[in-house]
Amino acid sequence: MAGSGKAHLRPERDDIVLTVEDLVVEFSAGGGKKVHAVSNISLDVARGETLGLVGESGCGKSTTGRAIMQLPRPTGGKVRLGSQSLTDLRGEELRRTRTQLQMIFQDPISSLNPRRKIKDIVGEGISIWGSGATKGNPRERIDQVLLDVGLDPETVGGRRAHQFSGGQCQRICVARSLVLDPEVIICDEPVSALDVSVQAQILNLLEQMKARYQLTLIFIAHDLAVVKNISDRVAVMYLGKMCEVGPSEQLFSAPAHHYTSALLAAIPQPDPSLEVLELQTLEGELPSPIDPPSGCRFRTRCVRAEERCAQEEPLMREVAERHFVACHFPLVGGTAPPDVGIPVTIGASV
């Protein structure tokens, strides 16, 4: 089985909250074909860290987020939350452990039940798991999380979602995700559907809640510019594979993967006096995940592609301190040694 490697994982650290190893998600596409939505993705997140997960629409970000939650269970791979292996847990034990992991979605209005009152939506976790699942009195807890996200519980508690703007609905979703005091929140494009003026408010709110509730975040976005300031580390995905992982500043100032470089070139530069990197722009469409290119999946759009890129899948390797890339001919660190790659075999699963 081809993989993108795990050199970027940090098993030596004792503060890793979430580890994902070789995650695979495949959907049936009919006629015996499969959608290779996520193919051997590995990542880890340390306590208090924010990991930005970026890539074009359709590259498998949401599928990765949902597979981490086991909604639905991945086709393959392992997910560990603290000392618990989510991929091995079943039934109520899985559901209870999963309360430590919450998700916020792109479209806040449709992710709130229109028939229920806001206080019931926010308190849903408590009504399922009982008052023992949260600190203190349930009513006070619901009021507190609403206050923390900037909403007055007296005013909003009895209303329904359609009475609020998109930004307010996202605040309610954040409150719901906080009520059981989770370890990790996966934010799946939480500001993509909001007006630009509201986006910054929600990003600020997430930063404040992260500090107040001592959270660890995975922040999914299709736009690198959105994750730049909020992320400690950034992971770049392309067509179901991991391309590059590194500290945010390093990845933005010296991208190693040709795809990351192309994504950066697409960000409008607000200050023309700043030094602009010579970056390749991104041409063409994302290939189909039903029949992805052999070797490096980016090769059909990469200006640097050579025969080796079709014959061998690149593996993750460290090219600068804590900066990892899966590319044979990266922009940082020189050509990959001959043994850092997996030869493509005819008929092998991708």
Ligand X SMILES: Nc1ncnc2c1ncn2[C@@H]1O[C@H](COP(=O)(O)OP(=O)(O)O)[C@@H](O)[C@H]1O
Interface ranges with ligand X (CB under 6 A): 27, 35, 37, 55, 57-63, 289
Contact flag: residue 111 with Mg ion (CB under 5 A): no
Residue 305: CB minimum distance to ligand X, A: 22
Residue 57: CB minimum distance to Mg ion, A: 7
Residue 56: CB minimum distance to ligand X, A: 7
Burial readout 269-303 (b: 16 or more C-beta within 10 A, e: otherwise) = eeeeeeeeeebbebeeebbebeebbbbbbbbbbbe
Contact flag: residue 5 with ligand SF4 (CB under 6 A): no
User: Which listed option, ligand SF4, ligand X, Mg ion, none, makes contact with residue 70 (CB within 5 to 8 Å by class)?
Assistant: none
Q: How many CB atoms are closer than 10 A to CB 321? A: 8
**Angle between helix 138-148 and 166-178 (nearest 10):** 140
Contact flag: residue 255 with ligand SF4 (CB under 6 A): no
Q: Which of 78, 304, 332, 344 binds ligand SF4 (CB under 6 A)?
A: 304
- In eight-state DSSP terms, residue 270 is S
Q: Segment near ligand SF4 (CB under 6 A), from 15-23, 25-33, 181-189, 322-330? A: 322-330
Task: Return the amino acid letter for 294.
Answer: S
Complex with Mg ion: residue 220 or 302, whichever CB lies closer? 220
Q: Which of 108, 111, 328, 331 binds ligand SF4 (CB under 6 A)?
A: 328
- Residues in region 49-108 near Mg ion by CB under 5 A: 62
Q: How many CB atoms are closer than 10 A to CB 126? A: 18
Q: Which of 60, 68, 40 is nearest to 287 (CA)?
A: 60
Distances in Å between the alpha carbon of 49 and those of 78, 99, 201, 299?
Answer: 20, 19, 20, 32
Residue 66: CB minimum distance to ligand X, A: 8
| Residue at token pair 């098993």 | 11
Contact flag: residue 176 with ligand SF4 (CB under 6 A): no
| CA pair distance 183, 255, nearest whole angstrom | 30
Residues that bind Mg ion (CB under 5 A): 62
Residues that bind ligand SF4 (CB under 6 A): 257-258, 296, 298-299, 302, 304-305, 309, 314, 327-329
